[in-house]
Structure 1
Amino acid sequence: GAWSTALLGVGYLIGLGGGIAMLVGVAIAWLIAVPLIGAQTGILASEGHLLEFASTIWMSRVRFIGAGTIAVASLWTLAQLAPGVIDGLKTLWKSRNAQDTAPCERDLPAWFIISTVIAVAITLFLSFYSFLPSHNAQTALFTIASVALCLILSFLIAASCGYMAGLIGASSSPISGVMIIAIIAICLVFRGLHGIGSRASQLFPHEEGLDVAFALFVLTALTASAAISNDNLQDLKTGQLVSATPWKQQIALIIGCVVGAAITAPILNLLHEAYGFAGEVSAHGGNLVLTAPQATLMLSLARGILGGDMDWAMFTIGAVTGVSFIFFERFLQTKGLTLPALAVGMGIYLPSDVSVTIALGGAVAHVTQKWSRRPVSDRTDQPGTLVACGFIVGESLMGIAIAGMHVVRPDIFDRFTPPSPELRQISSAFIFAAITFWIGRVSARGWTKI
């Protein structure tokens, strides 16, 4: 993760303010929280196991501080977005029967949208119901409640995340924090259903942990709605700029959603076959596994809430931290500065090497744009932004291609791998530094002077 060009590109897009905020989160996690919690445990780690001891504290406790910070910051973001979302819904309601609407303002008819929602609800019901091991009236009611919760939350999540993506960009969408709120809401509803008669032992007989798996399964639908809304609102915004016809775009976007759903599962299975995920043995017995830090956090939250051993103390500390940084950010905004509370929380709960690399990308963006040699009138082109987006997409595509080759021939890259770990680190650092210099040069001078 430390030498990831995709993370460098993400940092370039979010800018210096977000990068500094993530570094503040890293400092809170590793310079304050980990030492204090480690001292309270009363366990003395030997020098050789100190890093492992600190990592265990961060993974098991400190990350919940980050989750609390992100949850509060996301709620604050949603509250700020609510007036704009409500105004948009009012405008849509007023114009639903307008016969003289311009082509660039015509959306899909209401009957089509309602029919699509019903079809999605039926699909969700069948998917959730088939997931449960026992099929009876009780599991049917539980599934109906899950579908209703999914539809309600997905509407709120898609509206808020999509609205933010349309205003600022997908890189600033609060999807990570919203998913934390969503998994907490799902698990609390499940516990409530268990308490009124739908016992977990009856819904999930002889399947320990299946209730957690089902909660995460429901969360996948909400995550998909948030991610799709980010992309679709960006596309619709672009279409509005060129006077496109919205209903035609919306049909194309629906087709894209169906195709994407069909392709995503095979790609995830390919990555799992090639590497495996953290917490399980890789399919080929290798040491390189996909860490998936956000998914790991969602799993920890679901297990804690449904198992009754949620670390609410750490989560509450994180919530208080989030409120504090929200007020601090409001103060900084009066000075023309920014320190997003959401980014601070992400710095706490993401691995430190990920946060540092993202912060480096933000620093590169700030320095190169400040010292750009291009004329002011030409700086709106922002070639560095295009390169940063290319880094994100390119690394993703290359990761899939390499995973495919790794499945076919597990030893295909052995002959190209440097013999020692030290040499691998040095070569990776050199290549990463060269790429960082190159994107800075592109951003400062433009394409014609590379």
Structure 2
Amino acid sequence: MKSDQPVVSADRNIAELTIKALILGALLSMVLAAANAYIGLLVGLTVSASIPAAAVSMGLLRMFKRSTILENNMVQTAASAGESLVAGIIFTIPALVMMKAWAGYEYGPMVAIAIVGGILGVAFTIPLRRALIVEAKLKFPEGVATAAVLQTGGIENDRSKKIANKIADAGFATLLKGALIGGVVKLLESGLGVLASGVSATKAFFGGKYLFMGDVTLSPALLGVGYIVGLNIAFLVFLGGALGTLIGVPLNWAFNGDAIMLATGIDSAKSMAELSSAEWGQIAGQSWQNCRRIGVGAMMIGGLWSLISLAKPLWQGVAASIKAYKDSKGEGGGLARTEFDTPIHFVGIVVLVAIVPVFLIFKNALGVYPDANFIAAVMTVLMLVFGFIFASVAGYMAGLVGSSNNPISGVTIATVIVSALILLQLMGNDGMAATLGPIAVIFLAGLICSAAAIAGDNMQDLKCGHVVGATPWKQQVFQVVGVVAAALVIPFVLNILDQGYGIGRVSPINPSATMLAAPQAGLMQALASGIFGAGIEWGFIFIGFGLAVVLIVLDKIQEKRGSSFRFPVLAVAVGVYLPLGLSVPIFIGGILAHLLKKKAAQQSTEKQQVKESSGLLLASGLITGEALMGVLVAVAAVSFQGMVPFLTFSGAWWCGVAVFVAVIYYIYNKVQRS
């Protein structure tokens, strides 16, 4: 078969849009949304769910008498939408709870934002499919990788049924093993208290002049995240953590010791020798809280730079969209099955109809504000304009760097800044406007971030469909199915996680739990509230500006050299914002992936692909298992009013370290032997 020909030719019609595929796709979308909500809130990174969804689909559809590669493709299309949509929500909506606009995660508004934003993300990218996939032939790495996984199932290719079933079973089993390991470790840690969640130390040296603060989170899921994102991103996240904690904390203490003592409420008259270990911990914590604002500043510049650097791809994406529309009109009804998108006039109707719920969403956000109708109308226009622009950017960038590396949070930061400045001019910052303005901005950010996230995922899935021979309009329908299914459960999941762990704040019913950092949402809250007059502490943010400029220069140098090792600002910025302990296992996971890839380089191409698939599925399983168990533990914490973990064990820290090392060895050995 020629490389440019699909697995299932255009003149064949086999089972594709089926009831079992719809049900399975919707259910997996819900499950993967819950898993990615946890991991995304924990570390500010999400990873594409297309490959694990494809593996699960192959494993489950084999239980039916008949299933096809196109059914499998439809299931992964719907399932991966859950992972993408939740990224758009968790990067933005928690800001409303952090700024105390909401007491909890309100079901109606969240579902409306997720469904409307997600459907518009699909609609905005439908005209881009032919231009970017067929004509421009962008690589869409995750879409191609997912298609390769689907083809191992053996349906519609030359493999015998027996061999195909064996391969499909092996991939499914690898994913399940990873999920079991991740789930059991999380249960033993957060649920039972047998394993420590991490190890940490705070020490003052040289008479208190040098303050050390460091920790390591013992999480298999974070190993999986590092394995999937690769050494480059994993190293940069760790670099950010090292800059913020190992360098920033002691320097901040050395130059701003009196201010830090004042902020912690510790008597500045105390000598260093009189300070207890608990007080040193308070000092280190306050110093780190100051330093993490460096990450905020770097994220701000990184987001704006993403927008500037995407100006050319943006123009190309919009131009390609217009060209695709003109071409489709000229071809009329003569399109092949594999080129039949949702009709463009129907897409236009969807966008026009969406104006009504978008307007009502903003009207609801503005409450009793006197000019609510006018401001809601302006916000609706901003949503449609920014939504189309950033959806085009996300679709184009998915083709260049993949969905997992798509700078969605970057364009959302730009949205928050621009829309907040516009609303500030229209509303002012007196009285109700100072409260309602930031709320409206976050609503807009939620809609646009959801649209952009789904746009990138839609294009990746359509690329996979192009390789296997899917019918595009049917995939677009399944993308919407995945959006709706995920939207219905995301508010429940966030409420559970907020109560069980705390999202960007201490849990209201389980204060001893380690809260989920939600770095992007914290930034959105700081920007929106700060621009409307709550104030932004600029000192450390200016340092972040400088760090971002240095990283941009380094990245351009690497680009000019043609190096594959780059310096994307947002990866380092997230590392600075997060606790160092979270970045350590991510870095270890990246090193593992690099070592195993290097070892496999001397083997055959087929063997390399087998090892790569095995590693990705195992890593995805670790993430999914730990994340889903994390949600279940949160349910237990809510049900038992914070009585989790149930046990206390003095040796938990060394047991945690031993299990963490064992998981590292297992990953290395499993992939090496695959």
TM-score of Structure 1 vs Structure 2, range by shorter chain: 0.7 to 0.9
Q: Distance in 2 between matches of 1:87 and 1:243?
A: 26
Aligned partner (choices 338, 345, 348) of residue 104 of structure 1: 338
* Offset, 1:67: 1.9
Q: Distance in 1 between matches of 2:496 and 2:417?
A: 30
Corresponding residue SS for 1:115: helix
2:619 is the alignment partner of 1:393 = no
Corresponding residue SS for 2:431: helix
2:551 is the alignment partner of 1:338 = no
Aligned partner (choices 552, 571, 583) of residue 355 of structure 1: 583
2:659 is the alignment partner of 1:427 = no
Aligned partner (choices 517, 523, 528) of residue 291 of structure 1: 517
Q: Distance in 2 between matches of 1:298 and 1:374?
A: 46
State whether residues 187 and 305 of structure 1, in contact with CA within 8 Å, keep that contact through their aligned partners in structure 2. Answer: yes
Aligned partner (choices 123, 142, 153) of residue 375 of structure 2: 142
Corresponding residue SS for 1:340: coil
State whether residues 22 and 345 of structure 1, in contact with CA within 8 Å, keep that contact through their aligned partners in structure 2. Answer: yes
Q: Deviations over 1:159-195 (max 9, x none)?
A: 2223323433222111222222222122212212124
1:223 counterpart residue number: 449
Aligned-partner residue type, residue 110 of structure 1: I
Aligned-partner residue type, residue 310 of structure 2: L
Alpha carbons of structure 1 residues 130 and 90: separation in structure 2 relative to 1, 3 Å: closer
Q: Distance in 2 between matches of 1:9 and 1:71?
A: 26
Q: Distance in 1 between matches of 2:628 and 2:379?
A: 34
Q: Distance in 1 between matches of 2:448 and 2:436?
A: 19
Alignment RMSD:
2.7
Q: Which one is further off, 32-41 or 244-253?
A: 32-41
Unaligned runs of 5+ in 2: 1-41, 43-216, 262-271
Higher helix share: 1
* Offset, 1:92: 1.4
* Offset, 1:443: 2.6
Q: Deviations over 1:291-331 (max 9, x none)?
A: 32222222122222112623455445434433332332232
2:536 counterpart residue number: 310
Q: Deviations over 1:127-163 (max 9, x none)?
A: 2212323164x11111111122122222222222233
Q: Which one is further off, 393-402 or 8-17?
A: 393-402
State whether residues 392 and 455 of structure 2, in contact with CA within 8 Å, keep that contact through their aligned partners in structure 1. Answer: yes
Corresponding residue SS for 1:95: helix
Q: Distance in 2 between matches of 1:80 and 1:369?
A: 33
Alpha carbons of structure 1 residues 411 and 261: separation in structure 2 relative to 1, 3 Å: closer
Q: Deviations over 1:59-109 (max 9, x none)?
A: 4x3233322342244235523633542453143123221222222122111
Alpha carbons of structure 1 residues 309 and 389: separation in structure 2 relative to 1, 3 Å: same
2:615 is the alignment partner of 1:375 = no
The TM-score normalised by the length of structure 1 is: 0.87
State whether residues 295 and 573 of structure 2, in contact with CA within 8 Å, keep that contact through their aligned partners in structure 1. Answer: no
Q: Distance in 2 between matches of 1:443 and 1:168?
A: 25
Alpha carbons of structure 1 residues 76 and 357: separation in structure 2 relative to 1, 3 Å: farther
1:94 counterpart residue number: 326
State whether residues 438 and 532 of structure 2, in contact with CA within 8 Å, keep that contact through their aligned partners in structure 1. Answer: yes
Corresponding residue SS for 1:172: coil
The TM-score normalised by the length of structure 2 is: 0.59
1:133 counterpart residue number: 367
Alpha carbons of structure 1 residues 238 and 373: separation in structure 2 relative to 1, 3 Å: closer
Q: Distance in 1 between matches of 2:496 and 2:577?
A: 27
Aligned-partner residue type, residue 172 of structure 1: N
Aligned partner (choices 238, 241, 245) of residue 30 of structure 1: 245
State whether residues 504 and 517 of structure 2, in contact with CA within 8 Å, keep that contact through their aligned partners in structure 1. Answer: yes
Alpha carbons of structure 1 residues 321 and 276: separation in structure 2 relative to 1, 3 Å: closer
2:423 counterpart residue number: 190
Alpha carbons of structure 1 residues 103 and 315: separation in structure 2 relative to 1, 3 Å: farther
Aligned-partner residue type, residue 438 of structure 1: Y
Q: Deviations over 1:207-257 (max 9, x none)?
A: xx4433332232221221122223222211111111211111111211221
Aligned partner (choices 191, 216, 241) of residue 467 of structure 2: 241
Aligned-partner residue type, residue 386 of structure 1: L
Alpha carbons of structure 1 residues 418 and 289: separation in structure 2 relative to 1, 3 Å: same
Q: Distance in 1 between matches of 2:500 and 2:577?
A: 26
1:201 counterpart residue number: 431
1:53 counterpart residue number: 286
2:196 counterpart residue number: none
Matches within 5 A, 1:264-275: 264-275=490-501
Aligned-partner residue type, residue 502 of structure 2: G
Corresponding residue SS for 1:310: coil
Corresponding residue SS for 1:244: coil
Corresponding residue SS for 1:279: coil
Query: Moved runs in structure 1, 4+ residues, more than 6 A?
Result: none
Q: Which one is further off, 403-412 or 257-266?
A: 403-412
Identity of counterpart residues, as a percentage? 31
State whether residues 71 and 319 of structure 1, in contact with CA within 8 Å, keep that contact through their aligned partners in structure 2. Answer: no
**Corresponding pairs, count:** 434
Aligned partner (choices 154, 170, 174) of residue 403 of structure 2: 170
Q: Distance in 2 between matches of 1:439 and 1:236?
A: 31
State whether residues 500 and 513 of structure 2, in contact with CA within 8 Å, keep that contact through their aligned partners in structure 1. Answer: no
Aligned-partner residue type, residue 379 of structure 1: Q
Q: Distance in 1 between matches of 2:223 and 2:390?
A: 27
1:74 counterpart residue number: 306
